[in-house]
Every structure is written in structure tokens, then in C-alpha cells.
Amino acid sequence: MHAHLLKRESGAVLMVVLVALVAMLVSVIALSRSMDTHHLVAGNLAFRNSAVHSSDAGVQSAVAFLQSTVGTPTLNTTATNNGYYAVIAEPDWDDQTFWSQCSGCTVSAADVAGNQVQWVVHRMCSSQGNVNAAGNSCSLLTTTPTAANGGSFSADAVNFSGVAQNYYRISVRVLGPRNTSTLVQTFVSL
């Protein structure tokens, strides 16, 4: 009776098991590749977040520059060697020559994460010179409430008033490891 059963076995179960093993091997390889991709993406996000956090040092350095020169004629003219532009402009942010014009606009050599931080400041005015000069249009916090004079389209608009202040746009570029590049802009008023 056992001889008759041995003759009927043709190895079909072996083939099914081999196909199942190959399918499991392919899924393990795919899962491994997927995990590698997830690790790369997580690493890139970590480098980007590090660069964004490092931009804080550039903003602080630019604000310190502005605070040391506020109220002086220095802010009436462009001084590229100081990283200061008295007029609003949209430069090519990827142009290395634009960023290399100011050697003093770099925050230290590199931070602990390996990020190099550079900054520039643009005054929000249409031309150089005194902000109150004829023909110079600057973004100022005005002393006249516009909503009270009918200048607002909203009935519940906030009325701004106070001392006129100039607005400045601080642009910070951070270059980090693995070709990480971040551009952060913030506006300040002084």
C-alpha cells in the first residue's frame, strides 16, 4: 500500500512551497527598500528642520545690525558690503555672487549642525534716501487710522495708530549638509 502512495507523489507541494518562498523573498526585499527610502526622507526632513532653526541666528544678527544703525543716515543708502539694501528688490536668491557681496553677513563659520547662515536686509522703500523725501514710497505704520477715515472695506477693521516706523525684510539663507538649502524671510519694523 505504501508503494502505491509513493508513486502518486509528483512534487506539486514542493513547487507551491518554492513559489511561496520566492514571493516572501520579494516582499522582504521590497520592504527593506521601502524602509531605506523612509530613512532617507526622514533624514532630509531633519536636515531641513535644522536649517530652518539655524536661520534664527541670521535673523538675530540682522536685527542687531538694524538696531545699531537705526536713526542714522546709514540706512538711507545701499551698502552691499554690509548686506543692506535701501530699496526693495527681488534678487536671484540662488545666485552665489549676490550672497558673497557681504562677508560680514555670515553668522560664524558654521553651527553645530554644519549649517552656514547668511543674511541680507532690504528696506521696504521705492528709492534710496530719506524715507520722508518726496517721491520715496515706503511701507510705514501710519499715525492716521484709515478705518476711521473710510479707508477700510471692513466695518470691524482695526484702527492702527502710533509712531511711523520703517519696515525691513530680512532674508536668511542657510546652506547645510547633503545640499540642504533654506531661504527664510521675516519682516521687522523699527
CB contact at 8 A, 125 and 137: yes
Q: Of the given ranges (112-121, 136-145, 178-187), which has the lowest mean pLDDT?
A: 136-145
Q: What pLDDT does residue 170 have? A: 95
Q: What pLDDT does residue 22 have? A: 92
Q: What pLDDT does residue 155 have? A: 56
Instruction: Express each pLDDT in 123-162 by its tens digit.
Output: 998 888 888 778 778 876 554 544 455 555 555 666 555 5
Model confidence at 72, pLDDT cuts 50, 70, 90, reads confident
Instruction: Supply 107's cell numbers.
Output: 553668522
Mean model confidence pLDDT for the chain:
81
Q: Which residue has the cell 539694501?
A: 85
Percent of the chain with pLDDT over 90: 28
Name the residue with higher pLDDT: 12 or 82.
Answer: 82
* Phi, psi values for residue 8, rounded to 5°: -80, -20
When computed from its CA atoms, the radius of gyration of the chain, rounded to whole angstroms, is: 31
* Phi, psi values for residue 187, rounded to 5°: -110, 140
Q: What pLDDT does residue 21 have? A: 92
Q: What pLDDT does residue 168 have? A: 93
- 168: nearest Cα among 53, 68, 86, 102: 86
Q: Of the given ranges (5-14, 20-29, 105-114), which has the lowest mean pLDDT?
A: 5-14
User: Whole-prediction pTM value?
Assistant: 0.69
Name the residue with higher pLDDT: 153 or 9.
Answer: 9
Mean pLDDT of 11-28: 88
What is the DSSP pairing of strand 116-123 with strand 84-85?
A: parallel
Instruction: Express each pLDDT in 32-61 by its tens digit.
Output: 777 777 777 777 788 888 888 889 999 999
Mean pLDDT of 171-182: 90
Q: What pLDDT does residue 58 have? A: 92
Q: How many CB atoms lie within 10 A of CB 189?
A: 13
Long-range contacts, stretch 74-83, CB < 8 angstroms, 24+ apart: 75/123, 75/166, 76/128, 76/129, 76/130, 76/131, 77/128, 77/129, 78/128, 83/119, 83/120, 83/121
